[in-house]
């Protein structure tokens, strides 16, 4: 039988169950979206006591699920993003957090679809009101390794694959960062206290393999490089982790054939080992860290990722 806390969280996460955002905040965001500078209203007295919400994309499994659990351990309320097909897995992550005394809810959205991302953040706004929380963190974790045709070479380069991979690995983080910024910015949103973004990149950005995936992670790194100054002016830090070979479903095709001797530490990383780094970068302990890209690769230089 599910606990009342799980049932409450499920009820809050159910479509249509969210309370409407306050019209004042909604108005601020509409103005900000038009590029207007919004003069912050006085923060509510309870602002400092509000729960910090971290949004984790692709949080149903792998590195994303580990991030959700460890961020909840560190006191974050966690918005667990998932694709429609991963609802059960996402609910499982939420239940494990709530059962451990944390706060979490699941939010479906395909991060490559702008309308999904906008709707998800609107739903998170309503949840934030319900749990007395404020969005203060974003982990751009969702990612795909291949497109529908599995293109791996220049000779067989496929625009369809390129577009599919870039939509998730590049457009997704850009859209989610935009929406999170509108909520965390000390310049845009009344009472917001800034925040942090962590991009889950990859060492493959440097070696260039697998071809299209590596290109997408290179673009993600470029997005971060271009965003550091602007986000800093809003009180928002942005950093990246670049995992090495990590034992998730992403490496199913090469797990058995991979030569572990290529990794100085002699083994694959665990999702939790990357998630610990994400927790540090997202948290206050990293308050002077922005624009960094931390390799979590067991000693493998970035240039040998998957090589």
Ligand X SMILES: NC(=O)c1ccc[n+]([C@@H]2O[C@H](COP(=O)([O-])OP(=O)(O)OC[C@H]3O[C@@H](n4cnc5c(N)ncnc54)[C@H](OP(=O)(O)O)[C@@H]3O)[C@@H](O)[C@H]2O)c1
Q: Report angle CA 54, 7, 46 to the nearest 5 degrees.
A: 45
- 83 near ligand X, rule: CB under 6 A: yes
Neighbours of 171 (CB within 10 A): 19
The verdict on whether 288 is a catalytic residue reads no
Q: Is 248 in the site for ligand X (CB under 6 A)?
A: yes
296 binds ligand X (CB under 6 A): no
Of 137, 143, 210, 283, the one binding ligand X (CB under 6 A) is 143
Give yes or no for residue 112 binding ligand X (CB under 6 A).
yes
Q: Which of 107, 121, 213, 268 is the catalytic position?
A: 213
Binding mask 251-290 for ligand X (x = CB under 6 A): x---------------------------------------
Strand-pair category, 77-82 with 133-140: unpaired
**Of the candidate residues 14, 26, 85, 230, the single one contacting ligand X (CB under 6 A):** 85
Q: Which residues contact 245 (CB under 8 A, 6 or more apart)?
A: 251, 258, 263, 268, 269, 297, 298, 300, 305, 306
Q: Is the Cβ–Cβ distance between 84 and 72 less than 8 Å?
A: no
Q: How far is the CB of 42 from ligand X (least distance, A)?
A: 37
Kindly indicate which of the ranges 10-18, 28-36, 137-145, 157-165 contains the residues binding ligand X, using the contact rule CB under 6 A.
137-145
* DSSP code of residue 246: B
3-state secondary structure of 87: helix
Give min distance, CB of 172 to ligand X, in A. Answer: 6
* 61 near ligand X (CB under 6 A): yes
Residue ranges in 176-235 that form contacts with ligand X under rule CB under 6 A: 200, 202
Count of chain residues binding ligand X (CB under 6 A): 28
Is the dihedral angle over the CA atoms 248, 249, 250, 255 positive or is it negative?
positive
* Choices 30-38, 54-62, 127-135, 255-263; region in contact with ligand X by CB under 6 A: 54-62
As measured in angstroms, the least distance from the Cβ of 197 to ligand X is 14
Residue 184 dihedral angles phi and psi, to the nearest 5°: -95, -25
60 binding ligand X? (CB under 6 A)? yes
Encoding tokens for residue 30? 């509409």
Q: In the structure encoding, which two tokens stand for residue 183, read together?
A: 């909520």
Residues in the chain: 307
In the bound complex, what is the minimum distance in angstroms from residue 300's beta carbon to ligand X?
11
The CA distance from 233 to 145, in Å, is: 33
Q: Are 32 and 188 in contact (CB under 8 A)?
A: yes
Residues that bind ligand X (CB under 6 A): 57-58, 60-64, 81, 83, 85-86, 110-112, 141-144, 168, 200, 202, 243, 245-246, 248-251
Catalytic sites, residue numbers: 213
């Amino acid at each position: 039988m599910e606990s009342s806390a799980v049932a409450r969280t499920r009820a809050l996460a159910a479509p249509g169950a969210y309370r409407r955002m306050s019209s004042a905040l909604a108005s601020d965001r509409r103005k900000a979206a038009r590029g207007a500078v919004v003069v912050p209203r006085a923060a509510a007295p309870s602002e400092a006591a509000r729960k910090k919400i971290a949004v984790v994309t692709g949080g149903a499994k792998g590195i994303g699920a580990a991030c959700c659990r460890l961020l909840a351990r560190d006191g974050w309320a966690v918005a667990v993003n998932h694709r429609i097909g991963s609802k059960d897995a996402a609910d499982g992550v939420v239940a494990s957090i709530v059962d451990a005394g944390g706060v979490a809810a699941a939010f479906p959205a395909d991060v490559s679809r702008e309308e999904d991302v906008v709707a998800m953040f609107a739903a998170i706004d309503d949840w934030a009101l319900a749990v007395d929380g404020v969005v203060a963190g974003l982990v751009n974790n969702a990612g795909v390794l291949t497109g529908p045709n599995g293109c791996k070479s220049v000779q067989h380069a496929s625009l369809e694959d390129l577009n599919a991979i870039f939509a998730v690995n590049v457009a997704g983080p850009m859209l989610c960062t935009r929406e999170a910024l509108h909520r965390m910015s000390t310049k845009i949103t009344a009472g917001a206290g800034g925040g942090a973004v962590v991009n889950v990149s990859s060492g493959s950005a440097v070696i260039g393999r697998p071809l299209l995936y590596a290109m997408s992670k290179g673009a993600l790194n470029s997005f971060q490089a271009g965003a550091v100054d602007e986000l800093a002016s809003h009180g928002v830090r942005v950093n990246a982790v670049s995992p090495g070979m990590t034992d998730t479903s992403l490496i199913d095709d090469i797990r058995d054939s991979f030569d572990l001797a290529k990794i100085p530490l002699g083994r694959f990383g665990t999702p939790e080992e990357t998630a610990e780094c994400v927790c540090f970068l997202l948290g206050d302990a990293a308050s002077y860290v922005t624009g960094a890209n931390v390799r979590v690769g067991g000693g493998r230089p970035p240039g040998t990722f998957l090589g």
